[in-house]
Chains A and B, each alone.
Chain A
Amino acid sequence: MDRLQVIGLCVRLYMGKFFGLVLAAIAFTTFALFASRHWWMPPGASQGAPLLDRELRWGLIDIGIIFLLAQLALAVFVWRFRARAGIKANTFPQAVRVALIAAVLFITFELFSAATLGWRAWAGVYAGATRNNTISVEAMGQQFAYYFRYPGVDGKFGQVHVEKIDPSVGNYFGLDRAHDGDAKDDIVSAELVLPVDRPVDLILDAQDVIHSFYVRELRIQQDMVPGMRIPVHFTPTKIGKYEIACTQLCGLGHYRMRAYLEVMSEEDFQRWMLAHR
């Protein structure tokens, strides 16, 4: 009896069974936890959210089934094929072809879903057409706060002058209200206030380092990069207050960089605009 047989004798009676059982338990538990939806996304609150939710749901179902099948196959094979005296190993060279066909089918399916469900959900955020009643807002990230500005009645954003930025007088954007006509009626706020059911063009910018604009309920996450003006489009569909969180490591206060998005009725929004003019 050589070494491999001695070692094998000690463990082969139970190790494969143990692994098979543990793995099956892990696979079923994981699958059940996902299926139970106990921990899940907060409900969507934008027009694009159902598209993304649908893609994510189908994606999870798809990979969930493959996950379960693959882990169980592994568990069953390991349970079943321990080395036994007198039983030879069997080879199946033709299995290569089966594996190839299975892999190609799986990936073709994935490509297909990416090109259909995936493309639609992705295009919704970035390729939204500008419509008449669209509201334009600019969001600016800085260590460790957000500021938002609305163009006011003239519909034009005033010029930004970096040297004029002075938080002590509330000039977070560096507006030259004295000389710049476009800037005069710009509304600046630390909270993003939007009317419900109206399309929004949000332009993202940053003042110092890269930040991010993440609103879970809108299903939108987009980096805010200094030197770039990055547009995102969405239409809030539910009145409520949502958290805006920074998800791009931006320095020591990253964990507390927050703002709020408040979606209100059109009338409330107009009232809010008047109050801040």
Chain B
Amino acid sequence: MTRTPASPPSGLLRKYVFSTDHKIIGIQYFLLSLFAVVVGMALSWVMRIHVAWSGARILGLQFLSHTGAPGGYVTPEYYLSLLTLHGTIMIFFVLTTAPQNAFGSYVLPLQIGAEETAFPVLNMLSFWLTTLALIVLMATLFVADGPPITGWTAYPPLSALGAEAGPGLATGQTLWIISIGIFSIASMISSLNFIVTFVDMRCPGMSFTRVPLTCWAWFITAILILLSFAVLLAAVILLLLDRTAGTSFFVPANLLVSGKIEPYSGGSPLLWQHLFWFFGHPEVYIAILPGFGIVSHLLACFSRKPVLGYKVILACMLSIGFLSFIVWGHHMFVSGMSPLSGFLFSIPTIIISLPATLTTLLWLGMLWGGRLHFTTSMMFCLAFISTFITGGLSGILLAHPAIDSYLHATYFVVAHLHMVMGVSAIFAIFAATYFWFPKMFDRMLNERLGLTHFALTFIGVYCIFIPMHFLGLGGSPRRYAMLTDDFLSPTVSLHRFITVAALVTGAAQFIFLFNLFRSMFTGEKAGANPWNATSLEWVTGRTRSLGSAAILVSHGPYEYGETSTERDFVLQSERPEVNLKP
């Protein structure tokens, strides 16, 4: 296939706003996620303060919602609104958007030697649809009854009924559904683009076994997104119909809400849970698989060793992708689903930890005997391995239905999911940010600030989430706006410790933001290949497009070690004569 190089777009708007350049779109996605994560983190602060100090006044909050937080005092229903927004923003607009779309859009075409993505206009479209989805979601903050109170899982009947079932369930819930629908469409479009780009646009010599694991991870994640978001889209459309068109997909007959019999008949609340978690469990791997790719890729670079078991890690990622579609029932052990199904779902759930365990062991094996370079990027990779071990192991415990039936919907699960998909994925994002920032902005991030940021964040997340396991063991239910009873009041001190840790860890993120924006303009100039890495994105400068015809790949992605030259690595595009010493 021959492609004529597109003429560079002219005009500020076409170049930086409605751009079809995958590099600009990648940065746009990154900034969108950055905005979203700051909002999501701020919401978690308000929630943490409110839980630990019930009745605390959070000054200024009344200006955001005078009904939700009159005088700065958060109401129980507003707590649930904040919780819903926090979960939705973090899962969709941070954990799905940043690792996959931001870094995938930017790096994937460069690493496979493609000039552009296969469908640049679709790429632009998916970014702007994602932005629209975020705007619609944020709009719920400003509608009369506030954001929905149903959590990011939006279980019907609560989410299907209108205002009579509670605040935030009228316009707010409808907007939430529309936002998720738009987001699903955007994600599917971008996945289609990723898949075609990966399969069709690899430059000459870039065989499937020479593709860096990052690209494999983005490719597998794209397949997961395409298959799972299609189901989520269908589910939210059905939910919308239940709310607006009088259908009864998820709402059974004879509901009595606020003294009124609801006009529904014959729907199943469990149907939503099946559809939602059919999306929801692959979603966990959508957040974490790009991290697998990033960490494998970066560990090789910073330990100056080839990836240990490239094909094994690839097989692990593929099998995780496949298995992630048959484990959704482990979210429903206590839902009323047949107990036998519960037991059967626990088997693949335990089996899916096999590839995850194996990959983790291979990462550890890569460190053994390596020449480790402790850059900030590397530190976040190491932190990723640590938090992934912690969160993964508690996941194995929760895979047992009986244990889950005690710990389900307690803070133990909150700790588990934040550790394994929140913190780990965020650490992968940080590692990727410090690694590819020089590529994106031609400047280096400050390492001193970076390592300070790393140290505070790493210690901080353990201080936040380890104590949450104990809350859960003690039987503290999640999603409680206040600790009102005798049973839960002894946990207040633990809650306060967590809150303080969360505030300090959150404050440390401003070091990152400061570093990011300062280094964009005043950071040390980066050379063409500041990390001495092997993959193609470092072959050419930022401004020059790769021009696929010019590049011929004759090396594998991870040729680190003694070479016939002075360097300890071989670029993928290097002449075939340059080789690793055996």
Contact = CB atoms under 8 A, between A and B. Distances in A.
Contact of A246 (B167, B477, B561): B477
A252 B167 contact: yes
Given A107-B350, A251-B149, A210 B334 contact: no
A227 B269 contact: yes
Interface string A67-103: 1001101100110011110011111110110111011
A89 B563 CA distance: 12
B379 interface: yes
B336 A40 contact: no
Contacts of B402: 51-52, 55, 118, 121-122, 124-125
A212 B462 CA distance: 30
A118 B368 contact: no
Contacts of B477: 214, 245-247
Contact of A8 (B375, B482, B568): B375
B482 A4 contact: no
Contacts of A22: 455, 458-459
Contacts, number: 341
Contacts of B444: 3
Contacts of A33: 466, 470
Contacts of A126: 339
Contacts of B334: 212, 221-223
B554 to A, nearest CB: 21
Interface stretch (A9-17, A145-153, A262-270): A9-17
Nearest to B409: A247
A4 B409 contact: no
Contacts of B482: 255-256
Contacts of B479: 249, 254-255
A11 B304 contact: no
B382 A74 contact: yes
A65 B257 CA distance: 49
B367 A88 contact: no
Contacts of A42: 474-475
Interface stretch (A56-64, A130-138, A181-189, A192-200): A56-64
A135 B479 CA distance: 33
Given A4-B373, A78-B372, A114 B400 contact: yes
B371 A216 contact: no
A272 interface: no
B498 interface: no
A230 B150 CA distance: 23
Interface in B114-163: 149-151, 155, 157-158, 161
A221 B75 CA distance: 27
Contact of B371 (A88, A122, A249): A88
B269 A225 contact: yes
A89 B401 contact: no
B158 A250 contact: yes
B459 to A, nearest CB: 6
A178 interface: no
Interface of B: 75-77, 80, 149-151, 155, 157-158, 161, 165-167, 252-258, 261, 267-270, 303-306, 308-309, 312, 334-336, 339, 342-343, 346-347, 350-351, 353-354, 357-358, 360-362, 364-365, 367-375, 379, 382, 385-386, 389-390, 393-394, 396-397, 399-403, 405-406, 408-410, 444, 447-448, 451, 455, 458-459, 462, 466, 469-471, 473-475, 477-482, 484-485, 487, 494, 526-527, 530-532, 560-562, 568
30 contacts: A3-B444, A4-B373, A8-B374, A12-B374, A15-B451, A23-B386, A26-B459, A26-B466, A41-B406, A59-B396, A74-B382, A74-B389, A78-B382, A81-B371, A83-B372, A89-B561, A91-B306, A95-B308, A102-B361, A122-B343, A123-B339, A143-B165, A165-B256, A209-B157, A209-B161, A243-B487, A248-B409, A249-B80, A252-B80, A258-B485
A-B pairs with the 3 shortest C-beta distances? Answer: A227-B252, A90-B369, A39-B470
